[in-house]
Amino acid sequence: MSLVKRLLTHYALIGFGQGLLLCVLTLFMIEKGLALWQVGVAFGAFGLTAVIMELPLGATADLRGRIRVYRWSLMVSVVALVIAITVSHFIWILLAMSLMGFSRALESGSVSAWEIEQIRHHGMADKTATLIGQFQATNALGIALGALCGGYVPQLMAGTLTWLTPATNNLVIVLALTLIHILLLPWLFKEGDVIVASDERPTLKSQITVAVQHGLKHRAIRPLLLAGFLFGMVLSNLEAYWQPFVKTLAPDQKYDIFGWIATGYFFSAAAGPALFSTLVERIKVSPETMITIIFAAVAPVLYALGSSQTLWSFALLYFLFMGVMACVNIPVTVLLNEHTEDRIRSTMQSVMSLVLQGGGACAAFALAPVIQHWGIGTIWHGLAVTLLSLAIFRLVQGILPKLGRGFVSSLFKRTVKRT
């Protein structure tokens, strides 16, 4: 099987497990006895752990082997799932979520950096944006299918593992899938790791320093960090609170509605990037401009989402939001890899992931008490205004000066011709 097909298999498998988990994760914690603010803190623990560990683990992937580090990620995920399945106390749930954050930090940038390297090695560098879109779409389709199945798992397995809460059954299946994924790693990534020789290997500290300085000083990457932070805030908040929001709109609905909404959400996340990657090849628009347009487009949708009064209006707006917002990963990934050398690629991916998780952690800890008093919808309104403000700022800072220079240049040429 070709490299691309094996990577598509990997993304489908990991996506299916993510869908099974994400469609009930908040409900799982509520069934364990956590209050709404504790759910926010648990998501914050996930993000905070990922933030703390992102850079050292990303640098380790560059130095010690990206697939080796990804294998560690799956093993830590197994431990986290076992703890989450078997315990109920808030502190243990915090530990499980922290380990999931640790697993996320191990995974961040490892496979994505490896695949960019292999795509170039196989002479497909000109297809990078298209392939990234395909991988992202496949992952989203896997999540959608997993979410659809996950909505029915609590009901179908209710009489099987009677000592578990309904949503915990999803975690049992995810645990089994993770173990299967570990066994498939030698086949999925049979090209192996490119590991830096010990006599040429820089120290962990120097590797991190080079990547951080590269991100902060590079004019093309610096704006991506700000966009990533805000993206993390928005996405983390939606993932944490969409299920309680739906519960208030339709308190009598069963678990399957959460599976269907999560499925539509991730189908939208697959369709958006798939369509976007096709348009990218036909429309000559810079990645920077794409990011600005996407943020400007999703801001009013997010504001309307926070004002939803019915289940169906929420679902439609939710799907539309994710279909557009998911497209931002393509121009961000293209820009990041275009301006990053192979030797620090995983570390740089971890810098971006750190910013993303940092935004999520900030949103979780800072907004958890605010949501308790003002409600979920009000927070989404505030995030929408922030998104639109960033889009306007990017427009004023980046696009308008270029248009102005073009206008001045055109005017100068006309003046020269007349004289």
CATH of the domain at 401: 1.20.1250.20
In a domain, 101, yes or no: yes
Buried b / exposed e across 175-201, counting CB within 10 Å, b at 16+? bebbeebbeeeeebbeeebeeeeeeee
pLDDT of 257 reads 81
Residue 210 in domain: yes
In a domain? residue 196: no
How far, in Å, CA of 38 to CA of 71, rounded?
Answer: 30
Residue 360 lies in a domain: yes
CB 376 within 8 A of CB 37: no
- Can you give the pLDDT at residue 173? 93
Q: What is the CA radius of gyration of the chain?
A: 22
* pLDDT at position 412: 46
Is 43 domain-assigned? Answer: yes
Q: What is the pTM of this model?
A: 0.66
pLDDT number for residue 408: 45
Is 271 inside any structural domain?
Answer: yes
Sequence-separated (6 or more) residues with CB below 8 Å from residue 376 = 241, 244, 245, 306
Which residues 6+ apart lie within 8 Å of 244 measured at CB?
26, 30, 36, 39, 376
Q: Could you please report the per-residue DSSP string of 57-116?
A: HHHHHHHH-HHHHHHHHHHHHHHHHHHHHH--SHHHHHHHHHHHHHHHHHHTTHHHHHHH
In a domain, 116, yes or no: yes
pLDDT score for 182: 94
- Alpha-carbon 312 to chain mean position: 25
Q: Which residue has the higher pLDDT, 414 or 148?
A: 148
Would you state the pLDDT for residue 226? 83
Of 260, 318, 347, the residue nearest 53 (C-alpha): 347
Number of structural domains, the chain?
1
Q: Rounded to an integer, what distance in angstroms lies between the CA atom of residue 29 and that of residue 240?
A: 11
Q: Where does the pLDDT of residue 286 fall: very low under 50, low under 70, confident under 90, or very high at 90 and above?
A: confident
For residue range 329-364, list pLDDT tens digits in order. 888 878 887 888 777 777 787 788 778 878 887 887
Q: Give residue 414's pLDDT.
A: 56
The token pair that represents 295 in the structure block:
């943020």
Q: What is the mean pLDDT of residues 393-415?
A: 58
Question: What average pLDDT does the segment 179-198 reach?
Answer: 79
Out of 17-21, 123-127, 151-155, 166-170, pick the least confident. Answer: 123-127
* Per-residue tokens: 51: 């933030």
Average pLDDT of every residue of the chain = 82
3-state secondary structure of 254: coil
At 290, list the tokens: 């794409």
The residues near 350 (Cβ < 8 Å, ≥ 6 apart) are 54, 55, 57, 58, 59, 61, 105, 108, 109, 211
Q: Is 109 or 341 the better-scoring residue by pLDDT?
A: 341
Residue 310 within a domain:
yes
Question: What residue numbers bound the domain in which 38 lies?
Answer: 3-191+201-418
Q: What confidence score (pLDDT) does residue 304 get?
A: 94
Q: What is the pLDDT of residue 79?
A: 96
pLDDT at residue 93, rounded to an integer: 93
From the centroid of its chain, how far is CA 161? 32
Q: Which two tokens stand for residue 152?
A: 């029915």
Determine the average pLDDT of the residues in 32-43: 85
pLDDT for the residue 410: 54
pLDDT tens per residue, range 220-251: 788 888 888 888 888 888 877 888 888 888 88
Place 96 in a pLDDT band, splitting at 50, 70 and 90. very high
